[in-house]
Structure 1
Amino acid sequence: MSFDELLIELQGMKTNAGNPDHVPLEILFNEAFMSGCSSLASFEEFLRKGNFSISTIEDIGGIPEELLDRHVDRETRFANWKSMLDQANAEYAAQQPR
């Protein structure tokens, strides 16, 4: 499975394509966001560097939050996953037409 196919699976686009509130991970954590908050060029690189083996949506939920928080703290300017996710969502929302 390619990374793009994996992202589609992870984002639930196959089952949530009609959900207007669903924002794909590659859009939230785009290259500009990732390079602005870390030395990493992509969300794929972030996952790979953390040795996170993800092949299904359940895999993301299966990552212990403390491991994800430590990786975020180590590799980005954020202290934890929630702050990184909140900022990505805020930047995404700010770019949307009103």
Structure 2
Amino acid sequence: MRKQKPISFEELLLELQGKKTVEEDNKLVSLDLLFNEAFMSKCSSFKSFDEFLQKGNFAAKSHEEINNLHGELFDRHVVRETSFENWQSMLDAAKMEYAAKPLA
């Protein structure tokens, strides 16, 4: 029998509320939805994730491409251009904010 990965309190709460888990969202949600205009405007001076990437001379259209960018240079870009301390904290905040939205 395969062991299930333990879930966080936040993920359990979302599941009990009938919302998608953060893990599912990461696989299914486009970067444009995850880093929508409201999120980007709140944490940076950019209206879109594409503008944010372009400012740092980065290019990515998928989660896989973003994962390949992650590193010291990308973290420095996040620190310089957003209110986050690194890429992981920005990604986590975007996932939590998206997961907290009511399902359509």
Question: How does the TM-score come out when normalised to structure 1?
Answer: 0.69
Matches within 5 A, 1:33-72: 33-54=39-60, 59-72=65-78
Q: Please report how far the alpha carbon of residue 85 of structure 1 lies from its aligned counterpart in structure 2 after TM superposition.
A: 0.3
**CA gap 1:30/1:58 in 2 versus in 1, 3 angstroms:** closer
Partner residue, 2:19: none
Say which one has the larger Rg: 2
Query: How many pairs does the alignment contain?
Result: 79
Taking the aligned partners of 1:72 and 1:47, their CA distance within structure 2 comes to: 10
Residue pairs, 1:8-27, within 5 angstroms: 21-27=27-33
Query: Which stretch of structure 1 is more off in the superposition, 61-70 or 33-42?
Result: 61-70
Larger relative CO (CA 8 A, sep 6+): 1 or 2?
2
Shift of 1:22: 1.2
Unpaired segments ≥5 residues, structure 2: 1-23
| Distance change in 2, residues 1:57/1:84 (3 Å) | closer
Structure 1 CA distance, aligned partners of 2:29 and 2:75?
A: 21
In the alignment, structure 1 segments of 5+ residues that lack a partner are: 1-18
Identical pairs, percent? 57
Runs of 4+ with >4 A deviation: 55-59
Q: Which residue pairs with 2:90 in the alignment? A: 84
Report the TM-score, using the length of structure 2 for normalisation: 0.65
